[in-house]
Chains A and B, each alone.
Chain A
């Protein structure tokens, strides 16, 4: 509790005791009216003096429709009408509501900032032969910092000695620690768990991942959502209209109906109590803040409430292929031997490709996985653009593409599958082929399925890859459409066309583009929502995107959409609930059925309930677990499974 909250709580307690005493005396004891009036009066002054004072100040500045003024008029009016207890009660409950609001908001602020509590306090730097703790800001690029177990990596850099496990959960939502060793890049914000690391910094603190992320989160509430703007605009009109209605209610009906003023003035006063817009205005930013906080718990950074809102309306999701749905690394996915076993063919190919560092050769050697006895390989001859010829264990082995087979007049069966194919022949006889493909991410298919179940109508893939490869992957993952053989500029054009088609068919529908953020900045910018993934350590992606996925799991997109939907649901509930109750109580009040107690409920009660509802947005455990399950599922086409 802050000092201000404590003080207010003391005043509330004191005023409540006096108020209760006054109520008891007036109900059960023969006490003179003066004593009761004094009790209520003192209670009123204790609880309401600051409101009255603020109202007075604001009137002098010409600000009439201010909640302090409205409360003062309503409660003072009740006193004048002789309704002392109601006058005090309204003020008392108003202040209880204020206290609760302030408390709830500061609590949820704390829980969100605790979530993002990744700011390192110091860095250990060696200066003049001694290890000293300095502010991370003071460390220059290229200096050596030491990170002990339990400490946070303060600045991005490269490990020059030591090995350890890093806890990245604060950044990625990933609970599994990451193993790191000499030569690997590390990003700031992770917690070092086991060993001492010496790191050579590659960036200044201000440019480091942790600073970028903090900056992004801190500024996220600057970009306001449509519903947030709607409610502030609504509040601007709502209060004057209700106050004006109160004025009419106090003056016209008594004349027209020839009734006493006091009853109608009482009704008008209930209007003034309900006219405060706070319940409406407070719950909306609180919900969005909760949603953004909840998303960051799952490793999804949202740059503004407006993007969360757009994400909730997403109907089309466009993916870049490489790096987004696929890993962007080659792997052996199929081995089709002729006249030998799979293991034998793989071994031959691995030996033949031994000399090469080409990604394709590397993927074959990785699939083979055993040590290669270099002594067995002789007379390696590279045939440029075709492949390789070598003598392995006395046999002449050819390994390469279809052109090599034709050139060497090998009678081979061409492979019909899409992908990169390596044919092999032994002593002039065809030995089969190995298919190499860009690996699909383990959770890619699950991610597409999750998107469909959470209401995304269209999933599209854009790729620069060949049509055969692109269509094959699109089919395997269950994407609706794939556009292939695109140049980077074509991607923008396709997204524009998809946007046009989407907006023709739906008013609210939004298009999200998901890329790895490396060379798709123009497309990220063109889409309604640009999502960059695997952004940990890539500044360009963090800059260009509206939403940043900290890991490279596409299943996080569906989790983010679900969180956005839930948040927007809460926002809508709060708007409808708060406006609905207020209008209902206004109507009842005008007819004389609502007392000031009901009016206080419509003001304070509603805001308390709306705030409690808003805090729900922070709870995302369900989505986090669901996403973790999807990410843990092993892809059905792991190369190891097929190759074995």
Chain B
């Protein structure tokens, strides 16, 4: 399953790269890409794990860049 979420107030390009890196390392993620310009993250993970993976990704994002709000 592939889904993209909005990353509102993602203002720092380096943080975007850090988020992408960290999310890619989450267990179960097959692919992840953060677009700084589009303020979007595309996440790919198996269907059965997706909700859990997304949850974890949101937590990670809040940790790396507390200013960013994730919106599905």
A residues adjacent to B (C-beta < 8 A): 2, 4, 54, 57, 61, 63, 67, 98, 101-102, 105, 109, 112, 218-219, 221-222, 224, 232, 235-236, 277-278, 281-282, 284-286, 288-289
- A67 touching B40, Cβ below 8 Å: no
- A285 touching B40, Cβ below 8 Å: no
Give the chain A neighbours of B17 by CB distance below 8 A. Answer: 232, 235-236, 281
- B37 touching A286, Cβ below 8 Å: yes
Pick from A63, A67, A221, A289: contact of B14, CB below 8 A.
A67
- A219 touching B42, Cβ below 8 Å: yes
Known A278-B12, A281-B14; contact A289-B37, beta-carbon cutoff 8 A: yes
Given A98-B12, A232-B17, A286-B37, 4 other A-B residues pairs in contact with their CB atoms under 8 A? A221-B37, A222-B33, A235-B14, A282-B36
Measured CA separation A115–B6 after assembly (Å): 20
Measured CA separation A67–B15 after assembly (Å): 10
Q: Chain B residue with minimal CB distance to A221?
A: B35
Measured CA separation A216–B68 after assembly (Å): 25
In the complex, per-residue mask of B18-50: 1 if CB is within 8 Å of any chain A CB, else 0: 000000000000000101111110100000000
- A281 touching B35, Cβ below 8 Å: no
For the complex, is B67 an interface residue (Cβ under 8 Å from A)? yes
Give the chain A neighbours of B40 by CB distance below 8 A. Answer: 218
B35–chain A nearest beta-carbon distance, Å: 4
Contacts A/B (CB < 8 Å), 27 sampled: A2-B9, A54-B66, A61-B63, A101-B11, A101-B12, A109-B37, A218-B40, A219-B42, A221-B36, A221-B37, A221-B38, A224-B33, A235-B17, A277-B14, A278-B12, A278-B13, A281-B13, A281-B14, A281-B17, A282-B12, A282-B36, A285-B13, A285-B36, A286-B13, A286-B37, A288-B37, A289-B37
B residues adjacent to A (C-beta < 8 A): 9, 11-14, 16-17, 33, 35-40, 42, 63-64, 66-67
- B11 touching A105, Cβ below 8 Å: yes
Give the chain B neighbours of A67 by CB distance below 8 A. Answer: 14
- A278 touching B14, Cβ below 8 Å: yes
Give the chain B neighbours of A236 by CB distance below 8 A. Answer: 17
- B11 touching A102, Cβ below 8 Å: yes
Q: Chain B residue with minimal CB distance to A277?
A: B14
Measured CA separation A277–B16 after assembly (Å): 13
Give the chain B neighbours of A281 by CB distance below 8 A. Answer: 13-14, 17
Q: Chain B residue with minimal CB distance to A63?
A: B64
